[in-house]
Amino acid sequence: MSNLVQRNLAGSSPRSASASTRHPGSTTGEVVVVGAGIVGACTALQLQRGGARVTLLDPLPPGSETSYGNAGLVSVDSCIPISLPGMVWQVPGWLMDTDGPLAIRPAHLPAAMPWLLKWLWAGRRESVLRASVLLHELHRPALKEYRSLLGEDAFADLIKLTGQLHLWGKNGKPSAADRLVGEIRQRQGIHVTGLDAEALAQRVPALTKDLKQGISFDNHAFCINPQRLAQTLVRRFQEFGGELMHEKVQRIEALDGGRWRLWTNAASREAEQVVVAAGAYSKDLLAPLKVALPLEVERGYHVELPDPGVTLGLPFIDKDRAVAVTPMENGLRFAGTVEFAGLRHPANPQRIDALLKAAKAMFPGIRTNGAKTWLGFRPSTPDSVPIVGPVAGCPGLILACGHGHTGMTGAPMTARLVAHHVLGTPVEVNPQGYRLERFS
């Protein structure tokens, strides 16, 4: 255990900490976290609480990017990567359906192709089994970790322990992917309760009868306002003495002696350790350092209806349409779709339209007036497992990105992993499995 951590456990002020020479798992306390999305927010707070002196950099208010508009699901038993055996055969059908769950902007296809091929390769059985263990270890402790980071009152205010449903209408022969999902749940001791049409009508009375069956994850939860969650975490980080600066990092430079310099739009900052938690922007930020991240942007959308005329007691995912429906504090949110079109192309109105159609199909007669729409950028890896940990050959540079579809669930345990690498604090999961080197 580093001197710094020992001092903190003994109750001294984090700001009084200092360390002399650096060795694995020690720090002088000067850590810069780049990005105040949900991953950066959890990480900055965890490190500050652990005794590091942390500066958090983001040009935007906390939780303003992808962590703003997600579906808010805290899915502690989610562990199924997106790429599964046989999925390649479903892709043409999805692409032909303009209201379907997948879209690719043709001009973006050449840029996305290397990642898409890696993604398909990650759908092999052995790769899926490996990823599922890593995902479950990251997700399972999410509620306990959020409770610890937020404190009891803020946790109860923001996170609702209602469970979640997965629903579908079509009845078909189970595919190879379905069988593997069942096997994984069995191996990992994940309990789900089956729901027939009658049980479903009781749980979600306003729902279309086209969704005939489902399963219930009773220990899942959801957040009623993901941006407020990130902001609450950052406020707590500041109360612990952490510094939030509204600056955009333009360049990261390795200095002699293992230190780092960050050139921002407003300053030049030196740091002992740098944590890159810039979501989908992490790839471009690290490219000049020759750190190649296998990240692709999976664009997702939401439509939020402030006055839907529908009451929902718990969130659900319509698995046929791949749309999550969540009763947020400001309205009923329909979130989903995957679009490959990069970071810069404007929002695609057809995707929004597809979500509105889905909302009307799920809840006939739903009121869509005043709908608010949003586009976000999932930072996705081919195997759906985020990239967390130091970069070989770049001491002091720690990655915390690539959380794809489940970053709100994976963020608090990611913070624990980063604290392990930065401060040497113990962590219950195998930290090696999340490192960038698994792709080499």
Ligand X SMILES: Cc1cc2nc3c(=O)[nH]c(=O)nc-3n(C[C@H](O)[C@H](O)[C@H](O)COP(=O)(O)OP(=O)(O)OC[C@H]3O[C@@H](n4cnc5c(N)ncnc54)[C@H](O)[C@@H]3O)c2cc1C
Which residues bind to ligand X, rule: CB under 6 A?
Answer: 34-40, 57-60, 64-67, 70-73, 248-249, 277-281, 285, 300, 302, 324, 335-336, 376, 378-379, 401, 403-409
Q: Residue 81 to residues 147, 282, 335, 377: CA-CA distances in angstroms?
A: 26, 21, 18, 18
Which residue lies nearer to ligand X by CB, 186 or 250? 250
Which residue lies nearer to ligand X by CB, 58 or 318? 58
Q: What are phi and psi of 349, to 5 degrees?
A: -60, -25
CB of 158 to ligand X, least distance (A): 14
What counts of helices (H) and strands (E) characterise the chain? 14, 21
Count, residues in the chain: 440
Q: How many CA atoms lie within 13 A of 299 on its CB side?
A: 21
Which residue lies nearer to ligand X by CB, 412 or 424? 412
What pairing do the DSSP bridges indicate for beta strands 53-57 and 30-34? Answer: parallel
Which residue lies nearer to ligand X by CB, 22 or 248? 248
CB of 9 to ligand X, least distance (A): 28
Which residue lies nearer to ligand X by CB, 102 or 324? 324
CB of 10 to ligand X, least distance (A): 32
CB of 255 to ligand X, least distance (A): 19
CB of 48 to ligand X, least distance (A): 17
Residue 74's beta-bridge partner residues? 221
Which residue lies nearer to ligand X by CB, 249 or 274? 249
Give, in degrees to the nearest 5, the angle at Cα 118 between 112 and 122.
135
CB of 6 to ligand X, least distance (A): 30
CB of 415 to ligand X, least distance (A): 11
Alpha-carbon span 336 to 294, nearest angstrom: 22
Residue partners of 365: CB distance under 8 A and separation at least 6: 309
Which residue lies nearer to ligand X by CB, 17 or 338? 338
Alpha-carbon span 270 to 283, nearest angstrom: 21
- Grouping H, G, I as helix, E, B as strand and the rest as coil, residue 414 is helix
Alpha-carbon span 75 to 89, nearest angstrom: 27
